[in-house]
Amino acid sequence: TCSLLRSPKGFPKLKNDTFLRAARGEKTEHTPVWCMRQAGRYLPEFRETRASQDFFATCRSPKLCCELTLQPLRRFPLDAAIIFSDILVVPQALGMEVVMVPGKGPTFTEPLKEVEDLLKLRQKVDVTAELGYVFQAITLTRHSLEGKVPLIGFSGAPWTLMSYMIEGGGSTTMAKAKSWLYRHPEASHRLLRLLADVIIDYLVGQVAAGAQALQLFESHAGHLGPELFQDFALPYIRDIAQAVKSKLKEVALPLVPMIIFAKDAHYALRDLAHAGYEVVGLDWTIRPQEARAQIGKDVTLQGNLDPCALYAPKEKIGELVKKMLESFGTQRYIANLGHGLYPDMNPEHVGAFVEAVHAHSRHINKH
């Protein structure tokens, strides 16, 4: 249960550190598994908890975030929890208004249109004042997990957040945001730098609050080609890893494993392997052996089952998982989907995925 806030000190002892060991490249008995969007609408209890509340009001309630984070762990033997939140809390911290429109998704009431609009953003963000509710949710959840599994914190990456802030919501082409990269490169870098600075403080704050690993979501990487990615995404991805680590050292906080998930960026895997992250997350559009060849042996891989595979019958899910584990190998590997769970998925099939990862990886490790 998610009751009463305790201090970030004296967290319960971690009982299952398989996910952290895999992230650091240490040997594991079984391959750890978690799912992006594991706290989500595919669970009836999630829909029930969320029913009466506005989406972002839920994000601002540490107690509700804690409850939603724990729900999947009550059902499935997952090896990690990820805090329930949203990547768009960062643009909100910069002073932008975002509302969740039913059937449409997140919508910015006033997206950035002109370069001058950058002046409307907060140039200095006190993350504790603006995003303290996320830190409280992390601390509360870390206690409420009772050491069952590690807790992952996360943020969107600068380009992905920039694209939302300019598009004003989802987009199939990202044409408005990409036009900034071509027409206003300097202003684009100013915005990306501002976002990166906030993200760095935000991620360090999450570790201070109790996060035991961090994932950076570059969800819109696929809209950039190799050149634009090289200029406008990669430098900030690198910088975030480096700055977070040096700040954690400075304030004597644990150096937690960091995961970079750049969706549809197979053209950049070699660069991402050297960007300073312990783990590189993969979507389902790349062959495991190819990813391993490009990324090398010193970085853990995470992914990459096609989320739609969970629509298959349970036996078929087991077969696909076995094949995935044989392709990646069971070590230096964290099983996951290649993207988040979809709202109409059957929870029993999610359970079948999790159990198949444990069963097949144990079997492969024994033989």
21 is an active site residue: no
CA 319 to chain centre: 27
DSSP secondary structure letter of residue 278: S
Helix (H, G, I), strand (E, B) or coil at 6: coil
**Per the structure block, which two tokens stand in for 51?**
């029913």
Nearest to 180 by CA among 172, 171, 190: 190
> Letter for the amino acid at 51?
A
CA–CA gap between residue 88 and residue 74 (Å, rounded): 27
Class of domain 17-311+328-347: alpha beta
**By C-alpha distance, which of 53, 50, 77, 69 is closest to 210?**
69
Strand-pairing partners, residue 318, are none
pLDDT higher than threshold 90 for residue 66 = yes
**Domain residue ranges in the chain:** 17-311+328-347
* pLDDT value of residue 4: 63
pLDDT digits (tens, 9 = 90+) for 322-337: 999 999 999 999 999 9
**Are the C-beta atoms of 312 and 320 separated by less than 8 Å?**
yes
Catalytic residue (one of 21, 50, 292, 332): 50
- 3 state DSSP class of 151: strand
Strand pairing category for 81-82 and 258-262: unpaired
Q: Decide if 237 contacts 187 (C-beta within 8 A).
A: no
Residue 79 annotated among the catalytic residues of the structure: no
The catalytic position among 17, 21, 37, 201 is 37
Do 50 and 39 contact (CB within 8 A), yes or no? no
Looking at the predicted structure, is the pLDDT value of residue 5 above 70? no
> What pLDDT is recorded for position 306?
98
pLDDT band at 2 (very low <50, low <70, confident <90, very high): confident
Phi, psi (rounded to 5 degrees) for 190: -60, -45
Query: Which residues make beta-bridge pairs with 154?
Result: 215
Asked if 362 is an active-site residue, the reply is: no
Choose, from 17, 60, 79, 164, the residue flagged as catalytic. Answer: 164
Catalytic residue of the set 24, 75, 86, 133: 86
Q: What is the pLDDT of residues 253-287, one digit of tens each?
A: 999 999 999 999 999 999 999 999 999 999 999 99
CB-based contacts of 146, cutoff 8 Å, min separation 6: 12
Tally of CB atoms within 10 A around 297: 10
Taking only the tens place, the pLDDT of each residue in 67-81 is 999 999 999 999 999
Tell me the β-bridge partners of 99.
107
The total of other beta-carbon atoms located within 10 Å of residue 198's CB is: 25
pLDDT-based confidence at residue 6 (cuts at 50, 70, 90): low
CB-CB neighbours of 1 under 10 Å: 8
Amino acid sitting at position 75: R
Residue 1 has a pLDDT of: 76
Query: 74 an active-site residue?
Result: no
Match 């988040």 to its residue by tokens: 340
Q: Which two tokens stand for residue 45?
A: 């209890």
Task: Fill in the DSSP letter of residue 245.
Answer: H
The pLDDT of residue 145 is 98
Q: Which residues contact 231 (CB under 8 A, 6 or more apart)?
A: 181, 185
Residue labelled with tokens 């000190």 = 9
Q: Is the pLDDT of residue 3 over 90?
A: no
Cut 0.75: pTM above it: yes
Q: Which residues on neighbouring strands pair with residue 84, listed in sequence order?
A: none
pLDDT at position 7, please? 55
What average pLDDT does the chain have? 97
Integer Cα distance of 360 and 367 in angstroms? 11
Residue 164 appears among annotated catalytic residues? yes
Over range 342-351, report the average pLDDT. 98
Which amino acid makes up residue 292? R
Q: How far apart are CA 229 and CA 265, in angstroms?
A: 9
Is 284:338 a contact under the CB 8 Å cutoff? yes
What does the alpha-carbon distance between residue 303 and residue 338 come to, in Å, rounded to a whole number? 5
